[in-house]
């Protein structure tokens, strides 16, 4: 399969217990083409090993190594999943010859396949351009199985990623592309951004967000004292859609927590805020898929960002399997 790499068993190492106490003892490395339809709760980790979009967007390259770094850190974490839950590493989508568009298309097909086989997809990146492929994979699945159902996108991010793809698509254009596709199809573009910063988006991007009726919470509002209000906004958003796709851009976090990203900043939000919001989103029962973007091991310090990403995955897989 073009633009696809089988899972790497050597990533899944750690402390040996022989009692499934650690996630590397729980995981099944299963090539995508061999993945069966799940008969019980099942989670599939899929990498998006591409940073071409980051390069096109004048960012720091290195995020292509993000998926393997996250999986390796996640492998060493404790396993609290029940015996009735399956965990698969299904490999990674790759980007050959800087052909990001083909990689996005392949990612869309892979996400559709995972949903068809009753897996919960968690995509690990990789540039945020993966959001366009990820969304299209969900949309194709729903159009086939549940026509007419709506998708709401919740993006934890410092950036809108609503740049216009006048010349080439990149890591800053995915949600604008989705919005334009929705417009062509005559469907609503449901997009909520949490953690937007004024120093990370020019005034044209704010105008685009207004033109597209994007709902957003500024970073100075996305704070612990206002958590109850933010929870109310999330509940209002989820109430009006059938399914939620969550995307977490690691560069939205303060560089105190996430130095290893494509565009680091000390002014970002805290992990606590994201974890609390995820509890609310998962509690809605509408979360269909999730990804984590912009993990860049090249600029990480003591594995700090990798551990943050792995901890987010750990939180999600344990929370969704208990609901």
CA-to-CA distance for 138 and 229, rounded, in angstroms?
29
Q: What pLDDT is stored for residue 167 in this prediction?
A: 82
CA-to-CA distance for 241 and 255, rounded, in angstroms?
33
Task: List residues forming the annotated binding site for Mn(2+).
Answer: 128, 157, 159, 161, 249, 251
**Alpha-helix residue ranges (DSSP H) falling in the chain:** 23-26, 52-56, 66-75, 100-116, 130-145, 174-185, 203-211, 227-239, 271-283, 304-320
CA-to-CA distance for 317 and 205, rounded, in angstroms?
34
* Tens-digit pLDDT profile for residues 241-272: 999 999 999 999 999 999 999 889 999 999 99
Is there a cis peptide before residue 126, judged by omega within 30 degrees of 0?
yes
Contact status, residue 130 vs residue 291, Cβ threshold 8 Å? yes
CA-to-CA distance for 293 and 107, rounded, in angstroms?
14
Structure tokens at 198: 């004024």
Structure-token match 């100075």, residue found: 220
Contact status, residue 172 vs residue 161, Cβ threshold 8 Å? yes
Average pLDDT over residues 186-203: 97
Which residues are 310's β-sheet partners?
Answer: none
CA 301 to centroid of chain Cα atoms: 22
* Tens-digit pLDDT profile for residues 293-306: 999 999 999 999 99
Q: What pLDDT is stored for residue 145 in this prediction?
A: 85
Task: List residues forming the annotated binding site.
Answer: 128, 157, 159, 161, 249, 251
CA-to-CA distance for 40 and 145, rounded, in angstroms?
19
Strand duo 120-125 + 287-293: pairing: parallel
CA-to-CA distance for 221 and 212, rounded, in angstroms?
21
Mean pLDDT across the chain: 96
Contact status, residue 179 vs residue 192, Cβ threshold 8 Å? no
pLDDT exceeds cutoff 70 at 323? no
CA-to-CA distance for 99 and 6, rounded, in angstroms?
19
Contact status, residue 83 vs residue 31, Cβ threshold 8 Å? no
Query: b/e map of 9-29 (b: 16 or more CB within 10 Å)?
Result: eebbebeeeeeeebbbbbbeb
Which range marks the domain in which residue 53 is found?
4-320
* Tens-digit pLDDT profile for residues 129-155: 999 999 999 999 999 987 789 999 999
pLDDT exceeds cutoff 90 at 322? no
Across 20-24, 94-98, 155-159, least confident range: 94-98
3-state helix, strand, coil in the chain (%, to 5): 45, 20, 35
pLDDT exceeds cutoff 90 at 51? yes
Number of domains in the chain: 1
**What CATH code is carried by the domain that includes residue 159?**
3.40.800.10
Contact status, residue 88 vs residue 33, Cβ threshold 8 Å? no
CA-to-CA distance for 192 and 218, rounded, in angstroms?
11
* Tens-digit pLDDT profile for residues 2-29: 899 999 999 999 999 989 999 999 999 9
């Amino acid at each position: 399969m073009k633009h696809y790499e089988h899972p790497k068993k050597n990533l899944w190492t750690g402390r040996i217990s022989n009692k499934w106490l650690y996630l590397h003892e729980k995981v099944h490395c299963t090539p995508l083409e061999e993945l069966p339809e799940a008969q019980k709760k099942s989670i599939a980790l899929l990498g998006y090993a591409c940073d071409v979009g980051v390069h096109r967007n004048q960012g720091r390259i290195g995020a292509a190594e993000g998926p393997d770094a996250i999986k390796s850190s996640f492998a060493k974490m404790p396993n609290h999943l029940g015996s009735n839950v399956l965990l698969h590493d299904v490999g990674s989508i790759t980007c050959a010859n800087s052909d990001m568009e083909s990689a996005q298309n392949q990612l869309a097909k892979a996400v559709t396949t995972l949903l068809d086989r009753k897996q919960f997809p968690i995509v690990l990146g990789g540039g945020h351009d993966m959001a366009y492929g990820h969304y299209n994979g969900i949309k194709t699945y729903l159009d086939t199985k549940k026509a007419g159902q709506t998708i709401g996108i919740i993006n934890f991010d410092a950036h809108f990623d609503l740049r216009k793809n006048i010349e080439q698509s990149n890591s800053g254009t995915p949600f604008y592309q989705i919005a334009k596709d929705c417009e062509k199809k005559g469907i609503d573009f449901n997009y909520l951004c949490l953690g937007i910063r004024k120093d990370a988006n020019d005034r044209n991007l704010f105008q685009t967000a207004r033109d597209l009726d994007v709902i957003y919470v500024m970073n100075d509002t996305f704070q612990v004292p206002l958590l109850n209000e933010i929870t109310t906004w999330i509940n209002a958003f989820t109430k009006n859609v059938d399914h939620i796709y969550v995307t977490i851009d690691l560069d939205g976090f303060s560089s105190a927590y996430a130095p290893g990203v494509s565009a680091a900043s000390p002014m970002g939000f805290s992990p606590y805020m994201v974890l609390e919001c995820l509890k609310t989103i998962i509690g809605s029962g509408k979360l269909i898929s999730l990804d984590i973007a912009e993990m860049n091991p090249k600029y990480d310090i003591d594995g700090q960002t990798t551990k943050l990403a792995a901890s987010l995955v750990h939180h999600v897989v344990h929370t969704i399997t208990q609901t």
